[in-house]
Amino acid sequence: MEQRLAQATTELIQELYGQELATAKITVQKTRSEFKGDFTIVTFPIARFSKKSPEQTADELGAKLIERLEELAGYNVIKGFLNLELSDDFWLDFVKKEKTNTEIGFNKSSEVNAPVVIEYSSPNTNKPLHLGHIRNNLIGYSISNILEADGFNTAKVNLVNDRGIHICKSMLAWQKWGEGETPEQAGVKGDHLIGKYYVMFDGAYKQQVSEMIEQGHSEEEAKKNAPLLLEAQQMLKKWEEGDSETVALWKKMNDWAYKGFDKTYKRLGVDFDKIYYESETYLLGRNIVLEGLEKGILFKKEDGSVWADFSEEGLDEKLLLRSDGTSVYMTQDLGTAVLRYSDYNPHEMIYVVGNEQIYHFDVLSRLLKKLGYQWYGKVKHLSYGMVELPEGKMKSREGTVVDADDLMEEMIARAKETTQELGKIEGLTREEAEKLYHTIGMGALKYFILKVDPQKTMTFNPEESIDLNGNTGPFIQYTHARIKSVMRKAEDKGASDEFTTIPSIHPREKVILKRLYDFPNVVKQASQTYSPALIANYTYELVREFNQFYQEVSILSAETQQQAGFRLSLAEVSAKVIHNAMGLLGIDVPEQM
């Protein structure tokens, strides 16, 4: 409708004032809530063509638009703002059309055929996933859904950081103190077992550093030359040289981690189209670096390390290969980017990575440009803020993180407790009840995280997230279940959702209609800004308005059958939009609750 209004206004400017103005220059926006109307056209820029005041121009255009577009019922002018009101017939037709549209809000196609590649998760195989990983996964998965809803093709990819000094720390600790322990023997997931040895290494390393300082070494020297760290560095060198014993241990422990990750991903409800492994991409990156060195694009220092110089761009020098020839993160990301571009020839490559890596990805893009890759501008870093707890930041090396598996278990347990207290499982089998607990618990977790703008640091509060009132996932899920309950009652009573016309649209109905109509625009905006928070908060506003409507206006006991049919249809469209919106966030909505 916005496009039709803009086009009609463009035509009228030509007819009335003999001037041409591109349709894109016409500003059509939603009418502010304190004024009567549905859409507003800003006429200040048009007044220079009409040679009249903005108010006169608005009045003149309003009268002509009412004649030209049958969807319009009236208009009013506030200064230079032309407020246009859509007819009841327009809204009735909208409801009739959308109540059979299961993909309401979704764009069927895009002008862009090349895929958008979205990297998220990126776990390290030396520890299990934690709360920070949950936010990463949920943002990446949701953005992929949103982009697909906006008509793009997407490729969801994961880069597993399965090599490096941090991996060797867990391996060395298990080798020294593990006594052959396996996940099966320990009765824990493999990623949890490996995480235990990572923490164990850190504790022993800090003890060595402390002892060396007591012996007279400087803190810097102690940290750099602690025997455990030197052993881990030697293990990394042996791995890169292909030492069979080291590689065998690496494969065994990584396999434990992968099996653990898969269980976590399944429970979290995320997946991937392709998984890359740092161990398979770092050599490509290393070769690219050596080629850049040979061409004189990069340079080598006296100790043999290889660097890129960005001083002319206002940055510093960036290490790419250590003096012992081993690779760093930038080397791996360079190889991964080149391989990924070759695999997909993408429209964009989006990296969902925490905001502490903003500099890293700025350098990656600059490095690609320096090395001659013309597509360097397709690298997009979607940074997100860290997730904190009420008591502060998490530290994986000290074992103070919130484990992802434990958190999901806690959320489901909280959902079970709350649901049973409120008596929401009446008539459900045990299996159905357990499924409901999972749906509510995971919905609470996902929504609480995704409703916050990705770039903002947030504090996760499990108790607050499970509340059935306020801006929470369970509140939205309960509204969907309430609508489904009304529809079941209507079916039991033999009430029809058919209608042709009604005397008038109630103000509460009008608010909901305008919200529903806006859903495709919200999806488009969320796609353009990579923000699941727009979808989440839109959905909350919709259900909040629906609940107010439900409290004030009777659906099944409406004055006429036509009115009841319209309200049932309005409820049905609302349920579809709630279902689709929450689906974009990876959240299920129950039929009963």
Please tell me whether residues 409 and 451 are part of one structural domain: yes
Query: Are 365 and 461 members of one domain?
Result: no
Closest CA to 144 of 274, 266, 262: 274
- Tell me whether residue 205 is in a domain: yes
Same domain, 394 and 409: no
- pLDDT of the residue at 400: 55
Identify whether 434 is part of a domain: yes
CA 62 to chain centre: 41
Nearest alpha carbon to residue 267 among 379, 154, 129, 156: 129
User: Looking at residue 53, what is its pLDDT?
Assistant: 93
Q: Is 187 left (phi over 0), alpha (psi -120 to 50) or beta?
A: left
208 in the same domain as 297 = yes
Per residue in 15-66, pLDDT tens?
999 988 888 889 899 999 889 999 999 999 899 899 999 999 999 999 999 9
Show which of 86, 101, 132 is a domain's final residue.
Answer: 86
Residue 307 lies in a domain: yes
Rounded Cα distance between 546 and 484, Å, is: 13
566 within a domain of the structure (yes/no): yes
**Can you give the CATH number for the domain in which 67 is found?**
3.30.1360.70
Q: Are 447 and 300 contained in the same domain?
A: no
User: Does 315 share its domain with 417?
Assistant: no
100 domain-assigned: no
The predicted structure's pLDDT at residue 188: 95
For residue 393, what pLDDT is reported?
47
Q: What is the CATH number of the domain that holds 148?
A: 3.40.50.620
Which of 383, 398, 413 corresponds to the end of one domain?
398
Q: Are residues 76 and 131 in the same domain?
A: no
Residue carrying the six token digits 């250590």: 322
User: What pLDDT is stored for residue 397 in this prediction?
Assistant: 44
Looking at the structure, do residues 249 and 298 belong to the same domain, yes or no? yes
User: Which ranges of the chain have pLDDT less than 70?
Assistant: 391-400
Is residue 92 situated within a structural domain? no
- Position 399 scores a pLDDT of 47
Handedness of CA 414, 418, 424, 426 (dihedral sign): positive
Domain boundary among 377, 398, 419: 398
Domain identity same for 409 and 304: no
Residues 497 and 452 grouped into a single domain: yes
Tokens of 370: 């320096």
* Rounded Cα distance, 505 and 63, in Å: 23
> Mapped to the 3 state alphabet, what secondary structure does 361-397 carry?
HHHHHHHHHHCCCCCHHHEEEEEECCEEECCECCCHH
Q: Could you tell me the CATH number of the domain that includes residue 577?
A: 1.10.730.10
508 and 461, same structural domain? yes
Asked if the structure places residue 114 within a domain, the reply is: no
Q: Is 188 in the same domain as 215?
A: yes
At residue 21, the pLDDT reads 86
Distance CA 386, CA 134 (A): 11
Question: Per the domain annotation, does 107 fall within a domain?
Answer: no
**Which structural domain range is residue 453 located in?**
404-584
The count of domains in the chain is: 3
Write the CA distances from 201 to 142, 187, 212, 248, 526, integer angstroms. 36, 21, 16, 20, 43
